[in-house]
Amino acid sequence: MRTSNFLIATQKETPADAEVISHQLMLRAGLIRKLASGLYTWLPLGLRVLRKVENVVREEMDASGAQEVSMPVVQPAELWKESGRWEQYGPELLRIHDRHDREFCLGPTHEEVITDLMRNEIKSYKQLPINMYQIQTKVRDEIRPRFGIMRSREFLMKDGYSFHVNQASLEQTYQVMHQTYSNIFSRLDLDFRPVLADTGSIGGSASHEFHVLANSGEDDIAFSDSSDYAANVEMAEAVAPTATRPAASAELAEVATPGVKTIDDLAAFLSISPDTSVKTLVVNGEEEGQLVALILRGDHQLNTIKAEKLEGIASPLVMADEEIVRKACGAGFGSLGPVGLTMNVVVDRSAAVLADFSCGANKDGFHFTGANWERDCPLPRVEDLRDVVEGDPSPDGQGTLQIKRGIEVGHIFQLGTKYSEAMKAQVLDETGRNVTMTMGCYGIGVSRVVASAIEQNHDDKGIIWPTAMAPFQLAIVPLNMHKSEEVAACAEALYTALKEQGIDVLMDDRNERPGVKFADMELIGIPHRIVIGDRALKEGNVEYKGRRDEDSQLVPQDDVIEFLNQHLAG
């Protein structure tokens, strides 16, 4: 491709409303343009990247045995009413009326459509398992679209759905998809982690998210420094401390703590470390009017997902109202503690091994120091209640946990029978009985992968594309080619030769200053660059520079193709 016939729409200025680096660079490099809030046009350069990602996804999905289909974007409301999602889904679901005033929606996902298709087409267990996917424009009416294509209202998604006669078959396909996703992100050369994820309100039995690690990620990922273990922080188990609780050595003492409301206040007031105190949170119990106190070490954070899964606790988790707490405990928030508490209490594993700890005295403006389990109050039920922190032991027993930010680019999910039951998607099993099909679903945010790759791979000059998704592998930058016949001839010969080898070459034949061309090719992030200029050419050389290299190197003109073949292959 020549820049004279290819829209290079680079911009010098960083757009004011672009908060994250990928959004800034996608605009500056001319990959996308905003049409309206959360709606973007992919320019030719950006689309080349998107298509490369799409093709890797398609190739690996096909290799896994999945079959590609294409379902409509516009979906009839009837199916969503059948599944129950018409009521459950919030305003992200863009609902529309056709000219006959019938209700439709623009599909954010396609569970209903594929389940409807399968209940009509699949009659027997012999046709199972089957795994269908599509790569399609999805619409989700985000309340606040942002970060460019990272959280846009229209995006390209690979969504896949598998159908099974039983759970064992689902688990098999789930493993294949886990491997397929790993293959995809490995081929794209991304630093990623498949992490255990919460199955949330969709239900289902197992779920993994695939995260590209990058500082700008919205999720915290905990992973072992010495094994494959990785989980969303909300899912990672905080394993029980191996140390036993020391014996009590201090006296229980009530201390007036005027104005102390938080653990930080308390630590400062008493000149203690927060990890020698406990905090007490009160939540609604499972039954109406019931309260449960949750006790954590002062420096730890409550993990609401873990808490709401526990017996006796309302799900979703609801923090109790302060007035109700005051009636039950005799004090408001900031002065609560386990000593003398009469309601149900659950204590986190780490808080349960503390001795001589500080805590609220259930009396406004007072705390205890030197409190001890069993001596001053019973040791309550012990559970894992907290978010893991860096340095915690890895739940798989290997190494310690690190925490990094991640961008979710994929999600695989054992759905079970949520949709197939509601929509009566059944087949005959081996014994001739009707059984409800078991389902899995598998998504990749194809356009999001592009943004996440930039978040992970850039420097102050611009994007640094991983090879598999670079819009072009190599840029040829001839200097003053409109004046120098030698430069033009050398550039044209090289361009032709590389194109014949099937290499994606961008020939920058614009009549621009060298500095402009260099800056553009670096901003765009093309992995390899050959500069052809009169001076080096007189000595029989051209200049090569890899996108991550500090300096360029001279390569004899006669060896350049062999040189490039070696470098581009690596």
Verify binding: residue 271, its own copies, rule CB under 8 A.
Answer: no
In whole angstroms, the minimum distance from the beta carbon of 67 to its own copies comes to 4
Q: Given candidates 52, 153, 297, 404, which one binds its own copies under the rule CB under 8 A?
A: 153
Nearer to its own copies, 7 or 569 (CB): 7
495 φ, ψ to 5°?
-60, -50
Size (the chain), residues: 570
Q: Is 143 in the site for its own copies (CB under 8 A)?
A: yes
In terms of CB distance, is 149 or 314 closer to its own copies?
Answer: 149
Residue from 130, 319, 488, 497 in contact with its own copies (CB under 8 A): 130
365's CB contacts (< 8 A; 6+ apart) are 256, 257, 258, 259, 260, 335
Does residue 286 touch its own copies according to CB under 8 A? no
Q: How far is the CB of 135 from its own copies (least distance, A)?
A: 11
Nearest distance in Å: CB 516, its own copies:
15
Q: Is 524 in the site for its own copies (CB under 8 A)?
A: no
Work out how close the CB of 130 gets to its own copies at its nearest, in angstroms, rounded to a whole number.
7
Tokens 């049409």 appear where? 35
Per rule CB under 8 A, is residue 137 in the interface with its own copies? yes
Cβ 436 to its own copies, closest distance in Å? 20
- CB closer to its own copies, 43 vs 282: 43
**Would you say 47 or 355 has its CB closer to its own copies?**
47
3-state secondary structure of 438: strand
Q: Does residue 16 interact with its own copies by CB under 8 A?
A: no
6 contacts its own copies (rule: CB under 8 A): yes
Taking the C-alpha atoms of residue 230 and residue 84, their distance in angstroms, rounded to an integer, is: 33
* Distance between CA atoms of residues 209 and 410, nearest Å: 6
Residue 76 or 84: the one with the smaller Cβ distance to its own copies is: 76
CB of 38 to its own copies, least distance (A): 9
Q: Decide if residue 241 touches its own copies (CB under 8 A).
A: no
For its own copies, which residue of 82, 84, 86, 141 counts as binding (CB under 8 A)? 141
> How far is residue 409's CA from residue 185's CA, in Å, rounded to a whole number?
9
E strands, 150-265, in order: 154-164, 192-196, 206-213, 219-224, 230-232, 253-256
Question: Which of 26, 29, 128, 132 contacts its own copies by CB under 8 A?
Answer: 132
Query: What is the distance, to the nearest Å, from the Cα of residue 189 to the centroid of all Cα atoms in its chain?
Result: 16
Question: CA-to-CA distance for 137 and 60, rounded, in angstroms?
Answer: 19
Compute the least distance from the CB of residue 385 to its own copies, in Å.
36
The residue among 5 and 201 lying less far from its own copies, judged by its C-beta, is 5
CB of 472 to its own copies, least distance (A): 14
119 binds its own copies (CB under 8 A): no
Which of 117, 107, 97, 92 lies closest to 137 in space, CA to CA?
107
CB nearer its own copies, residue 99 or residue 548: 99
Residue from the set 139, 314, 320, 352 that interacts with its own copies by CB under 8 A: 139
Nearest alpha carbon to residue 561 among 494, 475, 474, 502? 494
Q: Are 367 and 359 in contact (CB under 8 A)?
A: yes
Q: Which two tokens stand for residue 129?
A: 């398992």
65 belongs to the binding site for its own copies (CB under 8 A) = yes
Q: Does 63 engage in binding with its own copies (CB under 8 A)?
A: no
Tell the smallest beta-carbon distance from residue 371 to its own copies (Å). 50
Distance CA(425)–CA(436), nearest Å, equals 6
Q: Does 68 bind its own copies (CB under 8 A)?
A: yes
Q: Which helix (H) or strand (E) holds 34?
A: strand 32-36
SS3 (DSSP) at 80: helix
Q: Output 137 or 226, the one with its CB closest to its own copies.
A: 137
Q: Are 350 and 279 in contact (CB under 8 A)?
A: no
Are the C-beta atoms of residues 188 and 170 closer than 8 Å to each other? no
In sequence order, which residues have a C-beta less than 8 Å from that of residue 413 and are 6 or more positions away?
A: 199, 202, 204, 206, 207, 440, 441, 442
Judge whether 163 and 122 are in contact, CB under 8 Å.
Answer: yes
The β-bridge partners of 192 are 212
Q: How many CB atoms lie within 10 A of CB 550?
A: 6
Stretch that binds its own copies, among 73-81, 171-179, 419-427, 431-439 (CB under 8 A): 73-81
Is residue 250 within 8 A of residue 369, CB to CB? The reply is yes
Q: Which of 18, 53, 61, 71 binds its own copies (CB under 8 A)?
A: 71
> DSSP string covering 177-197, please?
HHHHHHHHHHHTT--EEEEE-
Least distance CB 547 / its own copies (angstroms) = 24
* Residues 37-56 close enough to bind its own copies by CB under 8 A: 39-44, 47, 50
Residue with structure tokens 């759970």? 167
**For its own copies, the closer CB: 44 or 84:** 44
Near its own copies by CB under 8 A, which window of 135-143, 162-170, 222-230, 269-277? 135-143
3-state secondary structure of 369: strand
Residue 142 or 220 having the CB closest to its own copies? 142
Sheet bearing 381-383, strands edge to edge: 278-284, 291-297, 344-348, 381-383
33 binds its own copies (CB under 8 A): yes
14 or 41: whose CB is closer to its own copies? 41
Q: What type of residue is 336?
A: L
Asked if 98 interacts with its own copies (CB under 8 A), we say yes
Stretch that binds its own copies, among 34-42, 419-427, 452-460, 541-549 (CB under 8 A): 34-42
Give the interface size with its own copies as a residue count (CB under 8 A).
Answer: 48
CB 108 within 8 A of CB 93: yes
Residue 338 in tokens = 């386990």
CA 115 – CA 109 distance, rounded (Å): 12
Which residue type sits at 88?
Q
**Is 67 a residue that touches its own copies (CB under 8 A)?**
yes
Interacting residues toward its own copies by CB under 8 A: 5-7, 9, 33, 35-36, 39-44, 47, 50, 65, 67-76, 91-92, 94, 96, 98-99, 104, 106, 113, 116-117, 120-121, 130, 132, 136-137, 139, 141, 143, 153-154
